[in-house]
Structure 1
Amino acid sequence: MTAIEVSANRDFRVIGLVSSGHFFSHFYFLVLPPLFPLLKEEFGVSYASLGLLLTAASLATGVFQTPVGFLVDRIGARWILLGGLLLHSLAITAIGFTSSYWAILILFMVAGFANTVYHPADYAILNARVSRNRLGRAFSIHTFSGNIAWAIAPAAMVGLTALWDWRSAVIFVGLIGVATAVVLALNGSDISDRGGAEPTAQKKADVAIGGRPPLGGIQLLMSPPILMAFLFFLFIAMGTGAIRVFSVAALVAIYDTPLAAANGVLTGFLAGASA
């Protein structure tokens, strides 16, 4: 096997491992929304109360996302990614054992906190371990893994619920995440951002541009490119988030659409979005 083949195999192994964790970041966000009509009846709560679950998770992610990014820079990405994926998976698994709406709310907040690890850790690992000439493909595959998770989640949750029940379905997908965390731990050297494919890449990135030192910390976060990117993703999230979370509930409540058919509509939308 040539050096080029070895490098390619290593790169795509890293991409596969990192993207598998990112898959669950998105999948777990849509574990419950496809089942909202069932949860509304079981817990006797409103759709607004069910929406609060996602609000709590999103707030936890938003508050802790930036601090976790700084923590990744300080101590490295591997253990943060492993801990986050394991905590996320266990929180989702625990939802299947609860009988209280408020317990689910707390667990969703824990899941939201755990969700903060993926993007800062994943991109740190990809930048450190993947050859520069494959970084574009690495980022594309990483993004696709999240989008396809959104497309798979509605059909998977409805199918598993029909096969067993919603609690068993949630426990099952939670345990798959735990198993994935174990696989990542067994391949720990491939998900370390300390050293990697091109040791000089970071040094090249740190070289001053135009004679000016690179921005860091709060200055970097408040820079125009970062703020523009923030606004871009903010409006994308506002435009598509409601469809992901409440389209199934709306179709069932307003048009009396069967649950499986309503989730089929959502799956089609999300599959198209991931294409």
Structure 2
Amino acid sequence: MSSLRSAVANVSRETALVIGLVSGSHVLNHMYLVLFPPILGILAADFDVTLAQLGFAIGVQAFVNTVFQLPYGYLADTRDRTLALGLCLGVGSLGVLVIAAAPSFEWVVAGQALIGLGVAGHHPSHFPLLADATPESTRARAFSVHGFAGNLGFAIPPVLITAVIALPGLTWRDAFALIGGVGLALGVLCIVALRLFVSASVRRPHREADDRTAASIGSRVRAGVDSILAAPGILGLGVFALVASTVMWGVTTYVVVLLTDGYGLGNGTANLALSASFVVGAGFVLVGGDLTDRFRPGPILIGSYLLVATFVFALASMVVPPLAAAVCAVLAGSVGSLAMPARDKLADALSARGDVGRNFAVITVGIMIGNAVAAPLFGTLIETNGLRTTFGTVGAFAVLSVVLVGALVSRVDPDGTDATTA
């Protein structure tokens, strides 16, 4: 890790500021995505709704989030990255505050829609800022710090909301108000700090992208679709992200069920294994960033998901001892994080400087579709075919992700250019 320490020591103040602001935004945006799971029962009782209705509200957020990925990518690539980041935090935080004050379930749904509208902007605004603020030799490490912060964002809400509720006189509404208020404050800080201390070459899109803004909305949409279809490498990464996300959310959604019902472990031990997978995954993100800056992204991507497949198939076998199964569960849910900086650096390498936001939006759409597909797909499979078949299928998806990324990197040159068009 000496190379990592050396890279950190040589980071400029501007680079450190951008990484810090963007990573802080990543923490908040990921917190917004998982506010409901720790208190689903409480919300159901307070608003007199079913878990299915709360699932609908979460689905509204995911739908809006997916729909607005590409518009935010366009905004970041052609208008103003600072504006995109400010809108992301401002609108998402407003959604959290709406839910905190919601008098009825309809307002909860409206708040979730606002959260989706805000959160949609975090990847399209984050990655162009990171890409232009960091030299190519350390860019994967910057992406890994960003990913580490996102993992922390997933881990914070259960602890924070539980702690606030435990205080006399406070409820989940107070916890949501606190989180939303912090998000608004961070949004203001990001806008002010970027404008005062970060050069225009980092916070503003490249001039060649600006030339497209005079066209009509229809022609811009057509041009955007044409440019996406003309980038098979980015589309390939989007498909890989979809399959890989399906794998990881399949594991994290149902591994507790597997450990309790399949291996006979207690619920506390199974949940501890799930929590540990997030913590270990955060560490693997940093390791993956260091490895990706030292080696090519392709082998990191392939090796990471081969390991995922190995541990998932071990779980699916139902023959490993229960405690060994818990260890396999931790690794199955975390080792895929090694691939995140490699995926992001490959996407950056395949991008022209004027389309980074749009390209990361395409990849994020793939991630979100995978998130949406995994729960109903594997849940139905568990009900109809059992845990062994289901996790065997998850392992098969992991192998498919290896095949997809192997096919992709075989046609991409070491510098990230598409070998079929170079």
* TM bin (shorter chain): 0.7 to 0.9
- Within the alignment, does 1:184 sit opposite 2:214 as a pair? no
Q: Which has the larger radius of gyration?
A: 2
Structure 2: stretches of 5+ with no match in the other structure: 1-7, 208-222, 260-265, 284-422
Contact (CA 8 Å) 2:90, 2:184: kept in 1 or not?
A: yes
Larger deviation, residues 12-21 vs 157-166: 157-166
> What one-letter code is carried by the residue in structure 2 that aligns with 1:162?
A
Question: 1:60-71 residue pairs with structure 2 within 5 A?
Answer: 60-71=64-75
- Within the alignment, does 1:234 sit opposite 2:250 as a pair? no
Structure 1: stretches of 5+ with no match in the other structure: 204-215, 252-256
Bigger relative contact order (CA 8 A; separation at least 6): 1
Give the equivalent residue in structure 2 for 1:213.
none
**CA separation of 1:14/1:95 partners in 2, compared to 1, >3 Å: closer, same or farther?**
same
Contact (CA 8 Å) 1:154, 1:263: kept in 2 or not?
A: no
Give the equivalent residue in structure 2 for 1:148.
152
Give the equivalent residue in structure 2 for 1:129.
133
- 1:144 deviation in Å? 1.3
Contact (CA 8 Å) 2:95, 2:110: kept in 1 or not?
A: no
Contact (CA 8 Å) 1:97, 1:167: kept in 2 or not?
A: yes
**CA separation of 1:228/1:86 partners in 2, compared to 1, >3 Å: closer, same or farther?**
same
Give the equivalent residue in structure 2 for 1:81.
85
Give the equivalent residue in structure 2 for 1:207.
none
CA–CA distance in 2 between the matches of 1:15 and 1:93? 26
> What one-letter code is carried by the residue in structure 2 that aligns with 1:178?
L
Classify the secondary structure of the residue corresponding to 2:66.
Answer: helix
- 1:36 deviation in Å? 0.4
Contact (CA 8 Å) 1:33, 1:245: kept in 2 or not?
A: no
| % identity of equivalent residues | 26
CA–CA distance in 2 between the matches of 1:54 and 1:193? 38
CA–CA distance in 2 between the matches of 1:108 and 1:264? 28
- Within the alignment, does 1:92 sit opposite 2:99 as a pair? no
Contact (CA 8 Å) 2:31, 2:153: kept in 1 or not?
A: yes
> What one-letter code is carried by the residue in structure 2 that aligns with 1:272?
V
- 1:118 deviation in Å? 0.9
Q: In structure 1, which of residues 32, 37, 42 is the aligned counterpart of residue 36 of structure 2?
A: 32
- Within the alignment, does 1:267 sit opposite 2:275 as a pair? yes
- 1:7 deviation in Å? 5.4
Contact (CA 8 Å) 1:34, 1:245: kept in 2 or not?
A: no
**CA separation of 1:97/1:114 partners in 2, compared to 1, >3 Å: closer, same or farther?**
same
- 1:227 deviation in Å? 2.3
Q: Give the TM-score, by structure 1 length.
A: 0.79
Contact (CA 8 Å) 1:78, 1:192: kept in 2 or not?
A: no
Question: 1:81-120 residue pairs with structure 2 within 5 A?
Answer: 81-120=85-124
CA–CA distance in 2 between the matches of 1:175 and 1:69? 26
Q: Cα deviation per residue 1:222-263 (whole Å; 9 max; x = unaligned)?
A: 333222222222234334447767999xx9xxxxx99x9997
Q: What do you get for the CA RMSD once the two structures are aligned?
A: 3.4
Q: Cα deviation per residue 1:24-59 (whole Å; 9 max; x = unaligned)?
A: 111111111111011122222221111112211111
Q: Cα deviation per residue 1:58-103 (whole Å; 9 max; x = unaligned)?
A: 1101111012101211102001111220111121022111121111
Classify the secondary structure of the residue corresponding to 2:84.
Answer: helix
Contact (CA 8 Å) 2:14, 2:197: kept in 1 or not?
A: no
- Within the alignment, does 1:225 sit opposite 2:233 as a pair? yes
> What one-letter code is carried by the residue in structure 2 that aligns with 1:225?
G
Contact (CA 8 Å) 1:91, 1:110: kept in 2 or not?
A: yes
Give the equivalent residue in structure 1 for 2:172.
166
> In the comparison of the two structures, how many residue pairs are matched?
252
CA–CA distance in 2 between the matches of 1:93 and 1:186? 22
